[in-house]
A and B are shown apart, each in its own frame.
Chain A
């Protein structure tokens, strides 16, 4: 019993605090920072914590020593058995190469900006463009992998493998320690300003808003005025509870049918939903599933409307009214678009919806129209640009939170960002396959289209679950980013346009979607076996499409990272000539 409560708390913590709050906290910063970056400026990055140099040295050195020590200890205490030697040799050699080229790349970049300081710097600088380290690193990864594959089973291969798992640990530890020592040696000054790419800014903002004056208008309803921000924030947060953030974990079962958390299943069969010791990675396993989301999302309206009414301010009241009518209108579309999905998935439970998508193909391929409608309605539901009429600062000051300040205002503000995260999580679960990574099933990597298996590699259960969780987080962050991109791009609608879009376009469209979906589902139920199997193959093809798109995206991303920045110098003004004579302003301390 105790372990179950502990597990429930742990899951709630993971999904609400780790996912909901953290991603929302990062979003409050990313929104402003990246909007500025898009508009060719830097954005908020001024918050800085000055750490004494020896603390920084400890922060760099201690983890490096720990990692290096752990790797060597693992090698000495638990040397691999005959079966595990190859795996460990491969992992150690690849990690060594990765750490090696990343370290050299970092040093190369640093030498480029601050100049040569030691003979090692001179050696790194003599390589020229730091990109060479990336290319060399990838080449080394490839050559090592090919060598391992081609020499598998031969005498030289065995010698290499023995060298790999014997010396690999020491090489890896050396690379990690070397990078740390280099960083410590080249630290300058008594203090180091820690900015974490500007990430301290939202923390500073949050701290600031705690200490700001909490203003309540003289004739406002004090109780409701204080209650409204809580009512706004609460439903946004607890909606995350039904979101499944990973596949079911399989534990062993000890005496008295209690879970044995120490015995995580090593491998799980491909179609295996474990019979015993199953732990769903979902804080609240409700059988009403998606309906819980609609129930709570409806509660969020009360917060905004209450804030508008309790503030004793005409602008607030207008904002509150707008918020209430807008959210009620779009709630209808939101609910009706889901009906098509429910018909196809045949369930309202979110984890079973993901299982269906794993088996048949992602929801975006079976309900593409519903995806667009749901995303639009979800953005409108979270009262954000281009649907931020309730806020409408050009018309009604700041809408329903005109009279709010300090932490109460921050709670409204934060509730919006939490709503982005929950909306993204729902879109991911409903349409983007939840935790599913293409061709990764419960047994491991299994590339198969139709009946033909192209590649199969079993992976440990823990690795599969972890990859799924990472995939889910990546998708949620990606969807948040898409929502922010929409926010950075589009202007605000007019209020009557908003209502027209909601009632006269999206609502009929969602009804039509239900009709068409129902007809297609009926037709497919009557269809012959060949059509069914063809659909199966098509579903696998969509997985292949997603995998291919992911691969293309990754390649494009690396190409962008490695592409040189072409700049033209402009020395026509005396100010520019002065700057050029001092080596430019870029070489001055500059924080990314």
Chain B
């Protein structure tokens, strides 16, 4: 079937809205059944009862939806927090953690990149030198204090982006706990290092070559200088 092309509006056509072509949409009839309101009431009651029976049965027999895995199905999708928790998505930026080296010390080299990048200025780092004789002395420093004010943090993730050593991460999958005083939101280095990542490990996947290792590029560079 081909449709007749619409005629372009000629200059001689009268102004105003075009004539509507086609059958008009019928208005709903106001029959006695509609006006008496009774069939609609019964229909509504039927729908209510259906939901009542099915949902109550699923609740009583433990068949209700898994609120996360089967969330697109009809039925009760309520999570009973805090007994049940919705896991956060993979790239959720939660509470910070400081990753460990193999020997358990922080990976952080106190370069201050994160505290510089932080728009909320909530990171405070006091760098310190390694003692005399340590292989790392002269090559890198370590944080004597590493403090994050979690109540001030805006969870933008810039610190993680800025870190050249993969030392600070927000992959804990935790939101900050609701404390009752401001002091409790000040996370010190020990606390930050005691929080594992979501996979349970304290380290990161990226390999690290310690000064003194044969694979460490920086040490050879130092020797040649």
Question: Which residues of A come within 8 Å of B, CB atoms?
Answer: 34, 37-42, 109, 113, 197, 485-486, 488-490, 560-561, 565, 567-571, 573-580, 582, 584-586, 588-592
Contact = CB atoms under 8 A, between A and B. Distances in A.
Nearest to B86: A575
Interface range on chain B (Cβ under 8 Å from partner): 35 or more
Nearest to A589: B83
Q: Which of A39, A113, A561, A579 has the most CB of B within 10 A?
A: A579
Interface stretch (B68-76, B105-113, B121-129, B162-170): B68-76
A590 B80 CA distance: 7
Q: Which 4 A-B pairs have the closest CB atoms?
A: A574-B90, A578-B87, A565-B63, A586-B66
Given A34-B56, A575-B87, A567 B68 contact: no
Contacts of A489: 41, 44-45, 47-48
Interface string B44-79: 110111011111111111111111111111111111
A488 B48 contact: yes
A40 B69 contact: no
Best-surrounded residue of B45, B60, B69, B91 (most CB of chain A within 10 A): B69
Contacts of A586: 64-67, 69
Interface in B13-67: 41, 44-45, 47-49, 51-67
Given A40-B74, A489-B47, A579-B87, 19 more contacts: A37-B55, A41-B78, A109-B61, A197-B60, A489-B48, A490-B44, A567-B65, A568-B73, A570-B71, A574-B89, A575-B87, A576-B71, A578-B87, A584-B66, A585-B69, A585-B84, A588-B83, A590-B80, A591-B83
B69 A592 contact: no
17 contacts: A37-B56, A39-B51, A40-B76, A485-B49, A486-B45, A488-B52, A489-B44, A565-B64, A567-B65, A567-B66, A570-B69, A575-B89, A579-B86, A584-B68, A585-B69, A588-B83, A590-B84
Contacts of A41: 76-78
Interface in B86-104: 86-91
B9 interface: no
B55 to A, nearest CB: 5
B85 interface: yes
B123 to A, nearest CB: 27
Contacts of A486: 45
Contacts of A589: 80, 83-84
Most buried by B among A34, A582, A590: A590
Given A38-B55, A42-B76, A568 B48 contact: no
Contacts of A569: 66, 69-70
A579 B66 contact: yes
B196 to A, nearest CB: 15
Given A565-B58, A574-B90, A588-B84, A579 B69 contact: yes
Contacts of A576: 68-69, 71
Contacts of A561: 57, 61
B60 A592 contact: yes
B109 to A, nearest CB: 31
A486 B48 CA distance: 9
B62 A485 contact: no
B72 A38 contact: no
B129 to A, nearest CB: 42
A585 B73 contact: no
A560 B53 contact: yes
A578 B86 CA distance: 9
B197 to A, nearest CB: 13
A560 B57 contact: yes
B126 to A, nearest CB: 36
Contacts of B84: 585, 588-590
Contacts of A573: 89
A109 B74 CA distance: 22
Given A42-B80, A489-B44, A591-B80, A570 B86 contact: no
A567 B73 CA distance: 6
B59 A42 contact: yes
Nearest to A575: B89
B78 A42 contact: yes
Nearest to A577: B90
B225 to A, nearest CB: 46
Contacts of A560: 53-54, 57
B169 to A, nearest CB: 17
A40 B75 contact: yes
A232 to B, nearest CB: 28
A585 B57 contact: no
A38 B48 contact: yes
Contact of B70 (A38, A40, A567, A578): A567
B52 A584 contact: no
Contact of A40 (B51, B80, B83): B51
A37 B58 CA distance: 10
Contacts of B70: 567-570
Contacts of A571: 69
B181 to A, nearest CB: 27
A573 B88 CA distance: 10
A530 B39 CA distance: 38
A43 to B, nearest CB: 9
Contacts of B91: 574
Contacts of B83: 588-591
Nearest to A580: B69
Given A485-B48, A584-B69, A575 B88 contact: yes
A589 B88 CA distance: 19
A109 B62 contact: yes
A397 to B, nearest CB: 28
Select the residue from B44, B56, B76 with max chain A CB neighbours within 10 A.
Answer: B76
A173 to B, nearest CB: 29
Contacts of B64: 565, 586
A586 B84 CA distance: 8
With a 10 A CB-CB cut-off, give which of A39, A571, A585, A591 has the most chain B CB atoms: A585
Nearest to A193: B83
Interface string B171-205: 00000000000000000000000000000000000
Nearest to A586: B66
Contacts of B59: 37, 42, 592
A580 B69 CA distance: 7
A592 B76 CA distance: 11
Nearest to A45: B80
A102 to B, nearest CB: 14
Contacts of B51: 37-40
B65 to A, nearest CB: 6
A573 B90 CA distance: 9
